[in-house]
């Protein structure tokens, strides 16, 4: 399967934190090999022998959970993950029910009833509701809507200008696609490679913690969406689409292991693989938990630049995914007993 088709399949699936089963089932249907699961739902594949190398990508996307159905049939909700009202108003959503998916839009009180001052301010999330066309709570319940139902963004997958892709859930189905491709294609191994597809990253990085505890890796790398800030008003240096994977020196949960980071950069330069050096003072990834599991692991966050992250309409460049696969392939091929010991000690 081509990378673009894999990404289309993955982003079409629905899976908020604690409800990633659609995604994990798909991964298990496509990958072959030995795997185990933690009790939260993370799936961990394994191949090779030697020092333990864990590369993870989280399966969950941000979304909503139904908390209440009004007598008039409107649906109230709780955000799950980092959604803000700036990215939510008048968007389409999918409510997952036992009777099948239901489409809805998010709305608030009519703009025509607001004062100019009120219109200039961001709407509070608590003032939003979902409108699925129901006229009563009985209609909504009969259709299958219930408290606790999963709600996910609805966006049509589109290829823009050949290499750019627009979709929902690119954070972090882009990373999932990369790690799936990597696991399927890598053969020259002198290490014990674990490909972990983790759960609940968006609400506390939980699956990475349990997965790393099970694996006890020597080396751990998180593949996640990074900052795509090459837009008006953004800081594009190190954060550009199409310029290669981002090798982060720092984020809010991890100071990159110097030895591992230098090792990866040297591999990229030696093999003429484009990359960017970046940092961010916000946001955590799986690496923030993997690096402190049991005895600890030399850890790194490699980002795939994404514009409009945590929205219905994120954009990535397919060349960045391809170059991330190339880079990690070369890194895995170079990690053996000797090189891992040099990185660690």
pLDDT of residue 93: 98
310 known ligand binder = yes
Choosing from 20, 192, 201, 240, which is the catalytic residue? 201
Per-residue pLDDT of the chain (345 residues; tens, 9 = 90+): 799 999 999 999 999 999 999 999 999 999 999 899 999 999 999 999 999 999 999 999 999 999 999 999 999 999 999 999 989 999 999 999 999 999 999 999 877 787 887 777 878 999 999 999 999 999 999 999 999 999 999 999 999 988 999 999 999 999 999 999 999 999 999 999 999 999 999 999 999 999 999 999 999 999 999 999 999 999 999 999 999 999 999 999 999 999 999 999 999 999 999 999 999 998 899 999 999 999 999 999 999 999 999 999 999 999 999 999 999 999 999 999 999 999 998
Q: Where are the beta strands (DSSP E) in 112-218?
A: 129-131, 150-153, 158-160, 164-167, 192-198
117 is in an annotated binding site: no
Q: What is the pLDDT of residue 119?
A: 72
Full-model pTM: 0.96
Residue 171 assigned as binding residue = yes
Q: Is 201 a catalytic residue?
A: yes
Cα 22 to Cα 11, 90, 309, 345: the distances in Å are 11, 26, 22, 41
58 labelled as ligand-binding? yes
Residue 60 marked ligand-binding: no
Q: What three-state secondary structure class fits 308?
A: coil
**How do the domains of the chain map onto residue ranges?**
3-61+168-344, 63-153
Q: What is the CATH number of domain 3-61+168-344?
A: 3.40.630.10
Collapsed DSSP state (helix, strand, coil) of residue 32: coil
Residue linked to tokens 């088709």 = 5
The angle formed by the CA atoms of residues 59, 308 and 15, to the nearest 5 degrees, is: 20
Q: Which CATH superfamily is domain 63-153 in?
A: Peptidase M42, domain 2 (2.40.30.40)
């Amino acid at each position: 399967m081509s990378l673009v088709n894999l990404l289309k399949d993955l982003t079409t699936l629905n899976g908020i934190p604690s409800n990633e089963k659609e995604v994990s089932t798909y991964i298990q249907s496509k990958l072959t090999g030995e795997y185990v699961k933690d009790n939260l739902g993370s799936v961990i594949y394994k191949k090779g022998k030697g020092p333990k190398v864990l590369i993870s990508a989280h399966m969950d996307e941000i979304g909503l959970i139904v908390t209440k159905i009004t007598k008039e049939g409107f649906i109230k909700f709780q955000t799950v993950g980092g959604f803000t009202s700036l990215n939510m108003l008048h968007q389409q959503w999918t409510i997952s029910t036992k009777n099948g998916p239901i489409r809805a839009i998010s709305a608030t009180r009519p703009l025509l009833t607001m004062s100019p001052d009120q219109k200039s301010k961001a709407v509070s999330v608590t003032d939003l509701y979902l409108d699925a066309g129901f006229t009563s709570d009985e209609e909504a319940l009969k259709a299958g809507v219930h408290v606790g139902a999963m709600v996910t963004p609805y966006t049509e997958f589109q290829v823009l200008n050949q290499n750019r892709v627009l979709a929902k859930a690119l954070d972090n189905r882009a990373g999932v696609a990369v790690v799936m491709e990597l696991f399927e294609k890598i053969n020259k191994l002198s290490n014990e490679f674990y490909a972990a597809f983790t759960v609940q990253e968006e609400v506390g990085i939980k699956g990475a913690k349990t997965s790393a505890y099970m694996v006890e890796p020597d080396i751990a790398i998180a593949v996640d969406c990074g900052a795509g800030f090459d837009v008006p008003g953004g800081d594009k240096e190190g954060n550009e689409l199409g310029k290669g994977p981002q090798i982060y020196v720092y984020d809010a949960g991890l100071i990159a292991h110097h030895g591992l980071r230098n090792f990866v950069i040297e591999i990229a330069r030696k093999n003429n693989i484009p990359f960017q050096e970046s940092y961010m003072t916000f946001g955590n990834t799986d690496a923030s938990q993997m690096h402190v599991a049991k005895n600890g692991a030399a850890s790194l966050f490699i980002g795939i630049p994404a514009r409009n992250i945590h929205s219905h309409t994120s954009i990535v460049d397919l060349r960045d995914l391809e170059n991330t696969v190339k880079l990690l392939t070369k890194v895995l091929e170079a990690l053996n007993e000797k090189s891992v010991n040099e990185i660690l000690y």
